[in-house]
Amino acid sequence: MLVDTAPPAAETRRTPRFGFLRSWDTAIILALVASIIVASMTVSGFATSRNVGFLLIDVIPVLLLALPMTLIIVTGEIDLSVASIAGFVSCVFGALWNSGMPMETIIPLCIVLGAVSGALNGFLVSVVGLPSLAVTIGTLALYRGLAFVVLGDQAVTSFPRAITTGLQAKIGSTGIPVWILPVILLVIIFGVALHFTGFGRSLFAIGYSVDAARFSGIGVARTKFWLFVISGTVAALVGVWWTLRYGSARGDNATGLELSVIAAVLLGGVSIFGGKGTLPGVIAGVGLLAILRNALQLASVPEDTLSMLTGGLLILAVVAPNAITWIRSLSRKASTT
């Protein structure tokens, strides 16, 4: 049975550029380009350096979290706890700052805290062998709860203005925020790791078939463990970023952000079952959601329409591939008869 199914499986995996999902990525990238063009022409104030600066700064948290999320979903797992880790880290950041600790000590501590939080997810998923959906629903509640335990309903806002406004510094007069550069560097690192290394291929292998991956010598448990550690670490970066960007450490920082991240990743063509997806597609998914949101906000479309749009696009992203396969099979039937 295994021998029978293996060859075609390997074949479809090795030639994704001819598969449907490749063209889904292309479709999303085209949709992104189209939305930029249409928004620039029809929405006044969209194609200004000021707005582009806002847009790029606002997209940073989702973009960062989407990177490890893509890797995790490619292996067939999920991490729902990222926004809670960011909120938890934000509160610890605020509490430590209140206690008078210098920023240079707090930030590394916060990143370690994120890594440890992710390691708990990773331990429960890979060592204990629990489903990541259940584990991270649990830690979503746990870390968000700990965020409130640390700061209660207080907010820490006494961060130096030099830092909070410094985060919005622009490159010359371009309107492009300076901090998008290290983020782009991270995007490239994740992209190379996923698509051009053995590590990346092993992630697709795990998502495609855990048993096959194990037989071919991939340390499935170890790989998954480290992915959750990476995810927690990036979530900590987002927590620090969020705190300084908004100049406020609060228990409800980044609440619900995991949904936007997952929506963007799935819209970008990553299969929730694992094994399929590309990082360029995900970046396009993140960009498309951000641009639609921004353009519609500028056009004073109400917030509720935006949330319906996010939900609708998410469902479209999962329904469309099946619908198209179905239509193709119908037309194939029609042409053979």
Partner 1 sequence: MTTLTLQRQPSMAWLGTLTRSREFSVFLALVILIAVTVAANPRFLSGQSIKDLLLNSSILVILAVGQAIVIVTKNVDLSVGSVLGLTAFATGKIFIALPDLPVIAMLVIGIAFGAVLGAINGALIAVAKVPALVVTLGTLYIFRGVDFAWAQGQQISPSDLPADFLALGAGTLLGFPYLALIALAVVMAFGLYLKNLRSGREFYAIGSDVQAARLYGIRVGRKVFSAFAISGALAGLAGVIYAAKYGNLDATAGQGLELNVVAAAVVGGVAIAGGVGTVYGAALGALLLTTITSALPVLGVSPFWQRAMIGVLILASIVLDRYLALRTERRLRGHDSHAG
313: which 2 tokens?
Answer: 């696009």
Query: Residue from 2, 127, 178, 318 that binds partner 1 (CB under 8 A)?
Result: 318
Residues 59-98: x/- map of binding to partner 1 (CB under 8 A)?
A: -------------------x--------------------
Amino acid at residue number 134: A
208, 21 in Cβ contact below 8 A?
A: no
Residue 116 engages partner 1 in binding (rule: CB under 8 A) = no
Residue 308 engages partner 1 in binding (rule: CB under 8 A) = yes
Query: Residue from 21, 146, 213, 282 that binds partner 1 (CB under 8 A)?
Result: 146
Residue 130 engages partner 1 in binding (rule: CB under 8 A) = yes
Residue 297 engages partner 1 in binding (rule: CB under 8 A) = no
53 phi-psi bin (left φ>0, alpha ψ -120 to 50, beta other): alpha
24, 323 in Cβ contact below 8 A?
A: no
DSSP letter (8 states) at residue 170: B
286: which 2 tokens?
Answer: 């993140």
Residue 250 engages partner 1 in binding (rule: CB under 8 A) = no
Stretch that binds partner 1, among 45-53, 210-218, 225-233, 260-268 (CB under 8 A): 260-268
Task: Please give the Cα distance from 68 to 227 (Å, whole number).
Answer: 7
Query: Residue from 55, 65, 135, 227 that binds partner 1 (CB under 8 A)?
Result: 135
- At a CB cut-off of 8 Å and minimum separation 6, what does 222 contact? 126
Nearest to 240 by CA among 305, 322, 329, 179: 179
Residue 182 engages partner 1 in binding (rule: CB under 8 A) = no
| Residues facing residue 250 across a β-bridge | 155
Residues of the shown chain interacting with partner 1 in the complex, contacts defined by CB under 8 A: 78, 124, 128-131, 133-135, 137-146, 148-149, 152-153, 251, 259, 262-263, 266, 272-273, 302-312, 314-315, 317-319, 322-323
